[in-house]
Amino acid sequence: MAVHAHPDDESSKGAASMAKYVAQGVDVLVATCTGGERGSILNPRLQGDPRFEADIHEVRRREMDAAREILGVKQAWLGFVDSGLPEGDPQPPLPAGCFALEPVEHAAEPLVRLIRKFRPHVITTYDENGGYPHPDHIMTHKITMAAFEAAGDPEAYPESGEPWQPLKVYYNHGISTARIRALHAYLVEHGHESPFGEWVAGWDSEGRKEREFTTRVQCADWFELRDRALLAHATQVDPDGPWFRVPLDVQREVWPTEDYELARSLVETQLPEDDLFAGITG
């Protein structure tokens, strides 16, 4: 089970891994916390088009359906309202009723119910910083960790299904600085223009440190499928943006994995891993 904040997050973070596991016969479910109602139209080709601006909630549902079909996964909505990304100094307050303002114990309940129904062995989500500090991503982390602990406890949420204890939870690092740095260095070394120069320079000036990967899943054969799923979220993705300006053969050579950090495990496993199910299957 992959727990994500908004429709499109599943296609930019861990999509190739999910597609690989689906191809191996694994049952994969994406739990989407919000409907992405407050997402802006980021694709410049679609900005100003009333067909997309009139009902962005329904548009994003259709995009999610298309991405789900491409990846071969199942998908469920938890039903919370997108918090938006507050901008400004000082930042404005979050809108009333949004996901990030829900009490964690309340917001974790539908995820506990879904875990008990789907019965996953492995769950993936974001780290405590949300991967990046979007309030919905941080809240997704909080409810996932709470649900991981509660799902197997018969005294927790007794009306939400028979207890089921997942065995491992991972933080996904699909957009890691290490990966971007490696791609940037390769492109520069081989005389190509890199779309990541400003990003890397900014990280250098900040002294940004990379989190530790414990698990690297080889999934280069599914990068093309990942990109197709991401492009299915047409309002959210610029097809001419930096993600699509690095040839797939370069990505496969330089960084053929999707990377994870093992956050909690109830089974013995030896690090580093190359499989999210290490220690669960022989």
Residue identified by tokens 């779309």 is 195
User: How does pLDDT run across 84-95, given as a tens digit for each residue?
Assistant: 988 877 888 999
pTM of the complete model: 0.95
Binding residues for Zn(2+) are 6, 9, 137
For the segment 3-27, the average pLDDT, to the nearest whole number, is 97
User: How does pLDDT run across 108-153, given as a tens digit for each residue?
Assistant: 999 999 999 999 999 999 999 998 889 999 999 999 999 999 999 9
Calculate what percentage of the chain has a pLDDT beyond 90. Answer: 81
pLDDT at 40: 80
- List CB contacts of 255: < 8 A, sequence separation 6 or more: 179, 182, 183
Report the b/e string of 71-107 with b at 16+ CB within 10 A: bebebebbebbbbbbeeeeeeeebeeebbbbbeeeeb
- List CB contacts of 250: < 8 A, sequence separation 6 or more: 183, 186, 187
- Are the beta carbons of 71 and 229 closer than 8 angstroms? yes
Which of 103, 121, 113 has the alpha carbon at shortest distance from 26?
A: 121
Give the other-Cβ count within 10 Å of 17's Cβ: 28
Find the radius of gyration of the CA atoms of the chain.
Answer: 19
Binding residues are 6, 9, 137
User: How does pLDDT run across 224-273, given as a tens digit for each residue?
Assistant: 999 999 999 999 999 999 889 999 999 999 999 999 999 999 999 999 99
For the segment 22-46, the average pLDDT, to the nearest whole number, is 92
pLDDT at 91: 82
Domain range 2-176+212-265, its CATH number among 3.40.50.10320, 1.10.3720.10, 3.30.470.20, 3.40.50.720: 3.40.50.10320
For the segment 63-90, the average pLDDT, to the nearest whole number, is 94
Which of 8, 27, 20, 17 has the alpha carbon at shortest distance from 170?
A: 17
Cα gap 178→90, rounded to integer Å: 31
- Are the beta carbons of 213 and 261 closer than 8 angstroms? yes
User: How does pLDDT run across 143-178, given as a tens digit for each residue?
Assistant: 999 999 999 999 999 999 999 999 999 999 988 899
- Separation of CA 156 from chain center: 27
Domain boundaries, the chain: 2-176+212-265, 177-210
pLDDT at 237: 92
Cα gap 13→17, rounded to integer Å: 9
